[in-house]
Amino acid sequence: MKTRFKEFNPKKFSFHQDPVLILEDFWSKEERDTFLTAMDQAEWKKRSEIQVTQLAFPNCGDWLKAQIGPSEGSALLNRIALPCIADYIESFPQIKQRHMSFSYYSYGAGDCLSTHDDTDEQYARDDGNPGQSPQSVSPQRRIAVVTYFHQEWEHDWGGELIVYDSRKKKGRPGSLGSLVLLGT
Per-residue pLDDT of the chain (184 residues; tens, 9 = 90+): 889 999 999 989 999 999 889 999 999 999 999 999 999 999 999 999 998 888 888 888 899 999 999 999 999 999 999 999 888 888 877 766 677 788 999 888 888 888 777 665 555 445 544 554 444 444 466 788 888 888 887 767 766 777 766 555 555 556 778 888 888 7
Looking at residue 78, the DSSP 8-state letter turns out to be H
Taking only Cα atoms into account, the Rg of the chain, rounded to an integer number of angstroms, comes to: 17
Q: Exposure of 178 by Cβ count < 10 A (0-12 exposed, 13-18 middle, 19+ buried)? A: buried
Q: What span, in angstroms and rounded, lies between the C-alpha atoms of 27 and 5?
A: 9
Does the global pTM surpass 0.85?
no
Q: What span, in angstroms and rounded, lies between the C-alpha atoms of 28 and 143?
A: 23
Q: Are the C-beta atoms of 88 and 14 separated by less than 8 Å?
A: yes
Q: Are the C-beta atoms of 144 and 119 separated by less than 8 Å?
A: no
**End-to-end CA separation in angstroms for the chain:** 15
CATH number corresponding to 2-183: 2.60.120
Closest among 37, 33, 39 to 107, alpha carbons compared: 39
